[in-house]
């Protein structure tokens, strides 16, 4: 940030009185410009024991597989964002959303939230940000071609929980590079 969005003057980075960290501050009008993490919301859509994944048509991670997810918009609830992203990326309608995984990624200033969701039909199609949308059986999940560590971790947790028939919300902090772990499935 270089300029104040209120008055247009240059901003500086400094610790404002009563704060504990540097912020962008306008010395002309005194506005403090807070920056907060971005929220990514998505779904783990299921259809008859299979999981819907999308192959990315955009960077980052072009060509790799992901769960349908994306940035939450202003004026949306988490559930609305996850439903919208599933529709936009996979042309899929979902229901019965249940919060499942929450990941803090402070190294990229993001929070990722995924809901378990029921696909309402087996009719879907890739949206403009997806090259392909496909249902995968457990044994078919393309582990080596997953786009993000949050996708891998959500799938690992889900497959383990499905085996145990016990689904609980997972809240985790993921480091910048999540090492490959024993693959669930």
Give long-range contacts, CB 8 A cutoff, 24+ apart: 10-18. Answer: none
Specify if 11 maps to a domain: yes
- Within-domain flag for 183: no
> Domain range holding 117?
38-173
42 and 31, same structural domain?
Answer: no
Q: Do 3 and 46 reside in the same domain of the chain?
A: no
Number of domains in the chain: 2
Indicate if 4 and 80 belong to the same structural domain: no
Reading the chain (185 residues) residue by residue, the pLDDT tens digits are 999 999 999 999 999 999 999 999 999 999 999 999 999 999 999 999 999 999 999 999 999 999 999 999 999 999 999 999 999 999 999 999 999 999 999 999 999 999 999 999 999 999 999 999 999 999 999 999 999 999 999 999 999 999 999 999 999 998 886 444 433 33
- Check which CATH number belongs to the domain holding 24 and give it: 2.20.70.10
Q: What is the largest CA-CA distance in the chain?
A: 60
Burial (CB < 10 A; 0-12, 13-18, 19+), residue 85, is: buried
Residues 167 and 139 placed together within one structural domain of the fold:
yes
Q: Within a domain: residue 58?
A: yes
């Amino acid at each position: 940030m270089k300029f104040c969005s209120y008055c247009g003057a240059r901003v500086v980075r400094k610790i404002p009185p009563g704060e504990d960290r540097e912020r962008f501050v306008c010395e002309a009008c005194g506005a403090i410009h807070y920056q907060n993490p971005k929220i990514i919301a998505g779904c783990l859509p299921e259809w008859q024991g299979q999981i819907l994944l999308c192959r990315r048509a955009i960077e980052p991670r072009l060509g790799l597989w992901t769960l349908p997810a994306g940035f939450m918009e202003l004026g949306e609830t988490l559930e609305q964002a996850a439903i919208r992203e599933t529709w936009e990326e996979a042309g899929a309608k979902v229901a019965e959303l249940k919060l499942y995984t929450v990941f803090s990624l402070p190294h990229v200033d993001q929070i990722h939230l995924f809901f378990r969701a029921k696909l309402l039909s087996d009719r879907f199609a890739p949206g403009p940000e997806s090259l392909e949308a496909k249902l995968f059986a457990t044994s078919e999940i393309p582990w080596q071609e997953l786009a993000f560590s949050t996708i891998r971790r959500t799938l690992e947790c889900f497959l383990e929980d499905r085996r145990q028939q016990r689904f609980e919300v997972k809240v985790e902090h993921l480091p910048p590079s999540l090492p490959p772990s024993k693959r669930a499935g």
